Amino acid sequence: MNTDALVRSGRRTVLIVEDEAVNRELLGFILQESYNVLFAGNGVEALDLINRHEGSISMILLDINMPVMSGIEMLHRLNADARLSRIPVIVLTAEKSTELETLRLGALDFIAKPYDMPEIILARVKRIIEFVEDKEIIQDVEHDELTGLYTRSFFHEYCRRLLNGAGGRDYDMVAVDIDHFRLVNEVHGKAFGDEVLRAVAEGIREALRDGAGIACRNGGDLFYVLINHADDHAALYGAITARLRRLDGSNNIRLRMGAYQNVDSAHVIEWYSDAAKSACSAIRNNYVQNIMVYDNAMHERELYNERLIADMDEAIRQKQFRVFFQPKYDVRGETPKLYSAEALVRWQHPELGFISPGAFIPLFEENGLITKLDEYVWRESARQIRLWRDEFGVDLSVSVNLSRMDFFSEDLRERLLGIVAENGIPMRSIVLEVTESAYSEDTEHILNTVGLLRDAGFQIEMDDFGTGYSSLNMLCMMPIDALKIDMKFVRNIAGAGSGYRMVELVIEMARCLSIPAIVEGVEDEQQYRMMKQAGCDVVQGYYFSRPVDAQAFRKFLIEEQNDTEEEASKC
C-alpha cells in the first residue's frame, strides 16, 4: 500500500523515524492494526514525508541516533517551523542521558529500547495523540481564528486569574472599536476588513509584548484589553494606529477606545468590559476625542438609562407617552393654510417628570425598543385622526416616524394596514416619515419595503434631508411623496448666501421630482419670508406653533374651518 493511500484511508497516521530496518518493522507491526504507518530512515526522509503529507501526521516516533540527520537535529527543525511544532513527538532511545535535552526540545514522552512491551507502546501513542487533539480543540475555542487573540469567554476567565494573582499591580480594562467598520468592508471588501482586524490585533500584541496584560476579540470589530494601569492609554492607541498606517497609508481608519481604570473585585469582570465599551460608544462620531475614560457621571447616566428601559412597557400601558402634534402649513398662496401635522412623542414619567425625547429615543433606537414606541405613536395618531374626522369632518394627514428597526419587522405592512382599518381612516391620512440616513444602511431591503408600503397606499416622506449620505442617485431611487429639508439648513442661513442657495437647490430638486418641499425648523418672520421666497411649499416650525397636545391642536382645525367658511361666504 503506497503512502498516499495510507494517509487517505481515514485513520490517524504515525510516522516512525528509525534507521534500523528491524526496529522499523517491529514498531510498524505493533501499530498497524490501529494506525496508518509511514516509515523514514533518517531526519531528512522524515521531513520530506512530513511536507508531502502536511497536516495529516498525528504522531512522530523519533529515534535519536541516526545518520544523515539525527533525532536531536530533527527536533530543532520541527521547533523552528510553527506548522511542524504542533506534531507530537515520542522519542525512541535507550540512552537516559538524552531525555532532558529532548524534553527541552518539545518531546512529550519516551519509549525505551528494546520494544518488548507492545501494549505499553500502543497505550502511550494513543494517550499522547488524544491529549494533543483535545488540547488543539480547546485552543481553537480559546483563540479567535482570525486574530489569534483570546475569545471573549476565555479572556474573562484569564482576567479573573490574572487579577487574583495581581500582587498589588493595578490594571485597566480597555475597549477598542473601529469607527464605521461596516463601511470599510463595503468599500474595500471583506478580505481587506480582515486585514484591518489582524492589524489591530498585532498592534495590541505589540503593546502587551512585555507581559503588560491580555486581550481578546469580542467578535466583529470590538476588542477588549486588560492592561497595566496608565493615566491614559495613548501608547496602546499609538501601537494600533501605527499598524493600521502600514496597512492603509491614507490613515482613514479611525479607532475609538474606552477605558475603565483600576479594575478591582467590586464587580464581575464582564461588568468592567461593558463599562469600557460604554465609554467607547460615548465618543462615536466624535472626531476630536479618541479615548474616553468611564467615570461616575457615565455610570449615573447608565443607571438612568436602565431605569428608562425597565419602565418603558409600563409607560406604554399607562399612556405616560403623550403624542403631540406640530402643524405644517402650505405657504404657496398668499395666506398659509393648514396642510398636515407631524406626530411627536413626549414622556411624562410619574417619578422622573418630563423626559426629553433626546434622552429616550436614541436609547430605544439602540436596543430595539423603538419599534414598540413607534407602533404606540401610530395607533394614537390614527385614533386622533378619526376623532378629528368625526368632529370637524376633515381627513387631516399626520406624519409618523418609521425607524430603521421597523423595516426588519416581517409584518410591518400588515400592522400599518390593520391600524388604518381599525380606525376607518383613509390611507393617505398616515404619512410615513423615513430619515435619509436610514436609506444608507441595508439600502436594497429598505427601498423594497418602502416600495411595498407605497404600493399599499401609504405616502412616504423623507425626513432630515441633508444630514445623511445625500446623493442625487439615491434621491432618484427613493420612492417618496415629499422631501423634508432638515432644520440645520434653515438655522445656518444668515442672509442670501450659500446656505440660502443650498435650500433653493434642494427645493428645485423636489420640484424636478414633482413632490412638495417641506422646510422644518422655521422659527421667526425672517426665516419664514426667506423660505417662502426660496419657493418652499410647506413650512413647519415655531413660527406657526410648537408641538401641542391633541386638545390644543383643535384651535388650528377650528381656525382652518372658519377661514374655509369665510371664503365660501365671499363666493
Domain boundaries defined on the chain: 3-142, 152-294, 481-545
- CA–CA separation, 28 vs 38, rounded Å? 8
Mean pLDDT comparison of 163-177, 341-355, 358-372, 434-448, highest-scoring range: 341-355
Q: For residue 318, what is the DSSP state? A: T
Q: Of 437, 444, 441, 443, nearest to 462 (Cα)? A: 437
Confidence check: pLDDT of 221 > 50: yes
Q: Could you give the count of Cα atoms lying within 13 Å of 350 in the half-sphere of its Cβ? A: 8
- Give residue 438's pLDDT band: very low, low, confident or very high (50, 70, 90): low
SS3 for 255? strand
More confident residue, 411 or 264: 411
Unique residue bearing C-alpha cell 516516533: 61
pLDDT tens digit string along 3-40? 444 333 457 888 998 888 888 888 888 888 888 888 88
CATH number, span 152-294: 3.30.70.270
Give yes or no for a contact between 214 and 159, defined as CB atoms under 8 angstroms apart. yes
DSSP state of 329: E
491-522 residue pLDDT tens: 655 444 566 777 888 888 888 889 999 999 89
Q: What is the pLDDT, as a whole number, of residue 227?
A: 93
Average pLDDT on 229-234 reads 89
Cα–Cα distances in angstroms (integers) from residue 159 to residues 156, 226, 354, in the given order: 5, 7, 42
User: What is the rounded average pLDDT of the residues 131-160?
Assistant: 78
**Is 116 exposed, middle or buried, given 0-12, 13-18 or 19+ CB atoms closer than 10 A?**
exposed
What value does the mean pLDDT take over residues 367-392? 95
First-to-last C-alpha distance (Å) of the chain: 108
List CB contacts of 433: < 8 A, sequence separation 6 or more.
342, 399, 400, 401, 402, 461, 462, 463, 484
| Number of other CB atoms surrounding residue 4 within 10 Å | 11
Residue 195 clears pLDDT 60, i.e. is over it:
yes
pLDDT value of residue 251: 60
Please check whether residue 487 is in contact with residue 541, taking contact to mean a CB–CB distance below 8 angstroms: yes
Please report the pLDDT score of residue 318 as a whole number. Answer: 96
Residue 1: pLDDT band (50, 70, 90) is: very low
CATH 3.30.420.10 fits 3-142, yes or no: no
Q: Answer whether residue 354 shows pLDDT above 80.
A: yes
Lowest mean pLDDT among 117-131, 212-226, 471-485, 528-542: 471-485
Q: Average pLDDT of 393-408?
A: 92
- pLDDT (mean) for 51-78: 83
Lowest mean pLDDT among 128-142, 228-242, 252-266, 540-554: 128-142
- pLDDT bracket for residue 56 (50, 70, 90): confident
Q: Are 553 and 341 in contact (CB under 8 A)?
A: yes
